[in-house]
Structure 1
Amino acid sequence: MAKSSNKFTIRDICFIALITAACVVGRTAFQFIPNVQPITAIFILVSFNKGFLRSFLIVLLTIFTTNIYMGMGPWTLTQVFSYTVIIIVSCGFSQMPWFAQHQLPQLIFALFTGYLFGFLTACGDTIIYGIRAFWPYYVQGIYFDTLHGVGNLLFYALLRPFIPRLLLRFWPNQY
C-alpha cells in the first residue's frame, strides 16, 4: 500500500480516466442486480494503492457519469459523501501493516462497506428528504446493504489479485 504525491502527470490523468471508465462500465453492466456493482471494490483498491486524492477524483467522475445515465438527483450527493467516507477509512486502514498484509481483514472491510454505505446514505437521505423516522427507514434498506456488502466481498476477492499489480505496473509511484 503505497503513498503518492499530490502532483498530477499526464499518466495520472489517463489512468484516472481509464479506471473511471472501468467503474462506469462495471456499474452499468450490473445495474440489473440492486446494489451489486464492482465500483466499491475498485474504489477501495485504488485508495489503498494511490491515496485519497486520486480515489476521490475517480469517485466523483464515476458517480456523476453513471448518474447521468441512471438518474441524477439529490441522492448523488449522498452517494459521493458515502463513498468519500469509505475511501477515507480505506486510506486509514492502508497505513496499518497488519491490514495491508492480510487478505481476511480486507475482505471483512469490503463486506462492511456495504453496510457503511447504506448507513451513511440513509443519514444523508433523512436530512435531504426530511425523513423523521431514521431507524425504520434505515432498517428497511438492510437487505440492499447486505447485497451491496456481499457484492463488494466477491468483487474485492476477484479484483484484489489484479488491480494492485496493474496499478503498480502501469501507474507507478515515481514521478
Structure 2
Amino acid sequence: MRRLLVVAVVLLGIALLTNDGALATVLGAAALVCAGVAWFESGTDSTRELAVIATLGAAAAAGRVVFAAIPGVQPVTVIAVVAGAALGLRAGVATGALAAFVSNLFLGQGIWTPQQMLGWAACGAVGALLAPALRNRYVLAAVCFVLGLLFSASMDVWLWYGFFPHTVAAFTAVIGRGLWFDLAHAIGNVVLALAVGPELRRMLDRYGKRLRTVVVWA
C-alpha cells in the first residue's frame, strides 16, 4: 500500500510540474487510480466481498462490450451506482474502476483508461452517498441520467484540455461533437435504471446483509 501511495505522489508531482496538458491529465488520473487502489487494499479482507465486486465489475464490463455497437449506451454507470448504494463506498468505487479497466481489454486500452476508471469510480461513490434516496426507481433513473452527462462531459473536458488548443472555440467544438453521444449515454442510463435498477438493488441489498452478518460460535 505504501509503495502505491509513493507512486501516486510521484505521478501527481510530475503532473503538476509538466507543461504538457495531455501528459498532465494522464499522470494525474493515474496517480488518483494508484491512490484508490491503495485505499481499497487497506479495507477489510473479505473474500466474499472481493468475489461480488469482481462479479459486478465483470458483468458491467461484459455489458459495455455487448452494447459497444450503440455509441454511448452501456450499463457501467447504473451498475456502479447500484453497487455503491447497496454495498457501500468501497464496493461502488471498485466496481466502476474495474469495469472500465476490464472492458477496455476488449475495446482498447489507452491513455483514456485511467480517466474512465476515475469517472465510473466516482459514479459508484455517488451511489454510496445517495444510497437512501436511490431506493426509488425514478430517483435512481434521474441520478443516473445526470451522472451519464457528467461522466461524458468529464471525458470531453479531458479530451479538450489534453489534445486541443485551450480556446473557447476548441472547447465548444469538442463539446458539440460529443453531445449526441453524451445524450445517448444519459438516456441509456435512464432506460437501464428503470428496467433493472431496483431489482439489482434488492438483490445486492440481500447479499450485503449476508456480507455483514457475523456468526458467533458459543
TM-score (norm 1): 0.85
Partner of residue 152 from structure 2, selected from 118, 133, 151: 118
Partner of residue 66 from structure 1, selected from 97, 103, 114: 103
Task: Structure 1 unaligned segments of length 5 or more: list them.
Answer: 1-5
The alpha-carbon deviation at position 104 of structure 1 amounts to 2.3
- 8 Å Cα contact 1:115-1:145 kept in structure 2: yes
- 8 Å Cα contact 2:145-2:186 kept in structure 1: yes
Deviates more, 1:165-174 or 1:113-122: 165-174
When residues 23 and 66 of structure 1 are mapped into structure 2, their CA distance, relative to the original with a 3 A threshold, is: same
Query: Is 1:83 aligned with 2:117?
Result: no
Relative contact order, CA 8 A, sep 6+: which one is greater?
A: 1
Alignment partners' CA distance in 2, 1:109 and 1:121: 18
The alpha-carbon deviation at position 69 of structure 1 amounts to 1.0
Partner of residue 202 from structure 2, selected from 160, 165, 169: 165
The alpha-carbon deviation at position 169 of structure 1 amounts to 2.5
- 8 Å Cα contact 1:26-1:39 kept in structure 2: yes
What's 2:139 paired with?
105
More helix by share: 2
- 8 Å Cα contact 1:63-1:76 kept in structure 2: yes
The alpha-carbon deviation at position 117 of structure 1 amounts to 0.9
The alpha-carbon deviation at position 171 of structure 1 amounts to 3.6
Alignment partners' CA distance in 2, 1:40 and 1:52: 14
What amino acid does structure 1 have at the position aligned with 2:212?
Q
What's 2:68 paired with?
31
Partner of residue 20 from structure 1, selected from 32, 57, 80: 57
1:94-145 C-alpha deviation (Å, 9 max, x unpaired): 2xx5x24533222111111221111111122223324432232112211101
Aligned Cα root-mean-square deviation (Å): 1.8
Alignment partners' CA distance in 2, 1:101 and 1:11: 24
Alignment partners' CA distance in 2, 1:106 and 1:170: 20
The alpha-carbon deviation at position 56 of structure 1 amounts to 1.6
- 8 Å Cα contact 2:85-2:92 kept in structure 1: no
SS at match of 1:73: coil
TM-score (norm 2): 0.70
* Bigger radius of gyration: 2
Alignment partners' CA distance in 2, 1:61 and 1:91: 17
Q: How many residues were matched structurally?
A: 167
What's 2:178 paired with?
141
When residues 79 and 131 of structure 1 are mapped into structure 2, their CA distance, relative to the original with a 3 A threshold, is: farther
